[in-house]
Amino acid sequence: MNQKLINEAERVLDANFQKGGFTIPCKGLYPFQWKWDSGFIAIGFAYKNPEKAQMEIKTLLDAQWDNGFIPHIIFHTNDDSYFPGPDFHQSVLHPSSSKKYRSTGMTQPPVTGFVLKDMYRIAADKTDMLAFIRTHIDKVFENHRYFYTNRDPQDEGLVYIYHNWESGTDNSPVWDDIWTTMNPPEYVFERKDTSHVDPAERPTKREYDHYLHIIDIAKSHNYDDAKIAETSPFLVQDPLFNAMLIKSNEALIELYQLIGGEAEKIETLSAWQQKSIANFNKKLYDDELGAYVHYDLRNEKPIRQISSSSFSPLFANIPDKERAHKLVETMLGKFGGEDKYLCASFDPSSDRFNPKKYWRGPVWINMNWMLYYGLKNYGFAEVAERIKNDSIALLERDGFFEYFDCRKDNGEAHRKGYGGGDFSWSAALLIDFLKT
């Protein structure tokens, strides 16, 4: 265990923790609370600071809407250094939105269920952590009910996302073909992200026009899910998002079993789980590519691109053993060359791959963390170790950044990571990597 690195990671987390009881992903670039960041951050805090871990989740769940929805960003302050902020999103348009917090009207991957279970795994005081879980778990269950009731128009157990920002993998090349089906107006706005970070590492202005346009469409329907399902040009079943839901279902079942006396909820979760896993395997697996892919529900066709999301079902016990083998073969064959760190966020053999740009190629620590546990669970110990060691090596040498070049030699003598620095989930998950 590398104590110096752990100390450094703890320093980053503490520095990003805010008075309001939540942690920003990083200073400057992301000054509010983000849904899936919060989950990963709570895992990092659970080791040394379980009170902060609990506060993080408590604050997130406090922003839940009456219909069970949990927003992707909670704008706790009036900081105007981020675009698009609360005045653009106008979450208040939805009749069930929080009366207490301003937020976006979109969500992010449902990590909170499995995060509660990880917090329990890590907690030194299991009784205290279970008491916390007991008082908060129903909110997470209601979040899952929201997804299955409102985001699954064909009743497949596979939920849709209506915006690339809901995926967490914001500007992945996976969305490129969808942009060609749209022709959004040219928005006039001031980008804030590019004043914090090199524009070469961020999406283009035209990409932002698409992002804003989809939000405007959702707003024109007051964020009504059924109307969004009918009209949004972006409507996707995302393997990463659905794998997180499935992983969280599994965690909720186990936690309710621990708590006891919740037979009905366990039954409901098990029914969701069975249907979701069966249709996930039927609909989202591409035999020819040997990988899971996204499905474009608006245009009724698979999006046949391989990204790190393609392997995330390993984390949620979705593939059978044979398919898991095939996935690892694909991962090593396409992403795992000796000259590369695992795991690039997008297929390095594709002409859409870009090693510097956001989700179009770089390594992300949260993805590596999920893949590590997935690989380990299926018995791929060696690849799991490699992914863990690659993550630690990158963080140690390139700093606590948001994302990293997957090329071992990228031609830079003094390399560092990309995007925001002192990045919370990179720090949080490094702690878990080093302590497990």
At which residue do the structure tokens 């902020």 appear? 85
Could you tell me where the beta strands, DSSP code E, fall in 256-361? 285-286, 291-292, 294-296, 301-303
Among 388, 425, 434, residue whose Cα is nearest residue 403: 425
Q: Tell me the β-bridge partners of 103.
A: 74
DSSP letter string, 58-91: HHHHHT--TTS---SEEE-S---SSSS-HHHH-G
User: Contact 103/97 with Cβ under 8 angstroms?
Assistant: yes
Nearest residue (CB) to ligand GLC, 30 versus 47? 30
For this structure, is 56 an active site residue?
no
Query: At its nearest, how many Å lie between ligand GLC and the CB of residue 73?
Result: 8
Cis ω before 84 (30° cut-off from 0): yes
**Part in contact with ligand GLC (CB under 6 A); list of ranges 32-40, 91-99, 181-189, 202-210:** 32-40
User: CA torsion sign, 259 to 262 to 265 to 269?
Assistant: positive
Contact letters for ligand GLC, residues 67-96 (x by CB under 6 A)? ------------------------------
Whose tokens are 């621990």? That residue is: 258
Among 16, 21, 23, 25, binds ligand GLC (CB under 6 A): 25
C-beta of 329: minimal distance to ligand GLC in Å?
A: 28
Cα 195 from Cα 177, distance rounded (Å): 28
The single residue among 17, 22, 36, 65 that binds ligand GLC, judged by CB under 6 A, is 36
State which residue, 36 or 433, has the beta carbon closest to ligand GLC: 36
Site string for ligand GLC, 117-156 (x = CB under 6 A): ----------------------------------------
Cα–Cα distance between 111 and 373 in angstroms, integer? 14
Q: Which is nearer to ligand GLC, 120 or 418 (CB)?
A: 418
User: How far are the Cα atoms of 82, 104, 317 from residue 79, in angstroms, in the given order?
Assistant: 7, 15, 40
Minimum distance from CB of 420 to ligand GLC (Å)? 7
Give the binding range for ligand GLC (CB under 6 A) out of 33-41, 74-82, 84-92, 116-124: 33-41
Rounded to a whole number of angstroms, the minimum distance from the CB of residue 171 to ligand GLC is: 8
The nearer residue to ligand GLC, 36 or 341, going by C-beta atoms, is 36
- Determine, following the binding rule CB under 6 A, whether residue 168 of this chain makes contact with ligand GLC: yes
Q: How far is the CB of 411 from ligand GLC (least distance, A)?
A: 25
Q: How far apart are CA 363 and CA 274, in angstroms?
A: 32
# chain residues binding ligand GLC, by CB under 6 A: 7
Closer CB to ligand GLC, 156 or 402, in the complex: 402
Based on the shown chain and the rule CB under 6 A, indicate whether residue 34 belongs to the binding site for ligand GLC.
yes
Identify whether 170 is a catalytic site residue: yes
The strands making up 33-34's β-sheet, listed across from edge to edge, are 33-34, 73-75, 102-103
Catalytic residue positions?
170, 402
Task: Provide the binding-site residues for ligand GLC, judged by CB under 6 A.
Answer: 25, 30, 34, 36-37, 168, 170
